[in-house]
Amino acid sequence: MTMRIDGKKVAGEIKADLSKRVARLAAQGVVPGLGTVLVGEDPGSVKYVAGKHADCQEIGIRSVRKDLPADADFDQIAAAVRELNADPACNGFIVQLPLPKGIDENAIIDMIDPAKDADGMHPYNLGELVLHVRSEITTPLPCTPRGVIELLKAYDIDLNGKEICVLGRGITIGRTIGLMLTRNAVNATVTLCHTGTKDVVDHMRRADVIVAAMGQAGFVTPDKIKEGAVLVDVGVSRVFDEEAGRYRIKGDVDPACYEKASAYTPNPGGVGPMTRAMLLANVVEMAERSL
């Protein structure tokens, strides 16, 4: 029987544990703080940041917001980053992307104090991830890949020795999850497929696990997977529903695959809640390290 991997449920359990850890920190005089830098009023970004702060309130983390107008220039955004770097009430923070056209996003990310990099995407922290193949990592980890691994672990899905096909080479997960999956602690074999891969379907059909992060609705179909594969759907597309007369969120995995799979993550309700939970986990761990 195919297993539905419930990201909302696991994220809720993680947040309950984090709430207890936050209470223990508060008893020692430390209240973890998550900061956000939001530029402009893009609806998606506003909703995403609001969700982060709602999560903070839920588990007792302090919120520190830096909201800038859409016409903010590089120097204004850089100043907000420097303020959060120096703010003792903020243990970790994110700069919400995308930034306005013409702003060098990588230059802004480079300015974040690596010890306060709540997304785990600063070049220093990514370098630490590359270096620590066998030893423990004490720097922040990228939230989405970490969320995927924690989610599969919660359902006792062993990745040791498994063939994993990753679809998509974006920095959020595609380029980073392979670094985490091939560490000794996980010990999987990873094939990263992208637009230059000659026979994507051949790689997919050989995979024990497919991590789909292309942003191409319904790309993974039953004829492209093997019997009993585990399907992790990370892709997000807005597709117009003719019957409902509105846009809906669709993942990269066609639901018709579920009967053939041994396990799958729904989309929405799978990896998304885990990404948010891992951001909170990074901040709590930063506060714990400060002691």
Among all chains, which residue has been given the structure tokens 């193949």?
133
- Computed on alpha carbons and rounded to an integer, the radius of gyration of the chain in Å comes to 19
Q: Active-site residue 216, yes or no?
A: no
Catalytic pick from 55, 66, 96, 162? 96
Query: From the annotation, which residues make up the binding site for NADP(+)?
Result: 168-170, 236
- Residue 4 CB-density burial (10 A; 0-12 exposed, 13-18 middle, 19+ buried): middle
Query: From the annotation, which residues make up the binding site?
Result: 168-170, 236
Instruction: Kindly tell me the number of DSSP H helices and DSSP E strands found in the chain.
Output: 9, 11
Contact 194, 174 (CB under 8 A): yes
Residue 125 carries which side chain, given as an amino acid letter? Answer: N
Dist. CA 42–CA 35, nearest whole Å? 18
The two tokens of residue 152 are: 């599969």
In sequence order, the β-bridge partners of residue 165 are 191, 210
Catalytic pick from 119, 208, 252, 254? 119
> In angstroms, what CA-CA distances link 18 with 51, 182, 280, 289?
17, 27, 8, 14
- Residue 43 CB-density burial (10 A; 0-12 exposed, 13-18 middle, 19+ buried): exposed
Give the residue from 22, 265, 21, 48 showing the smallest Cα distance to 152.
265
Q: Active-site residue 119, yes or no?
A: yes
Cα angle, residue 185 at apex, residues 281 and 189 outer, rounded to 5°: 115
Q: Active-site residue 96, yes or no?
A: yes
| Residue 269 DSSP class | S
* DSSP H helices in the chain: 7-27, 43-59, 74-86, 105-111, 123-131, 143-154, 174-181, 200-206, 271-290
Catalytic (active-site) positions: 52, 96, 119
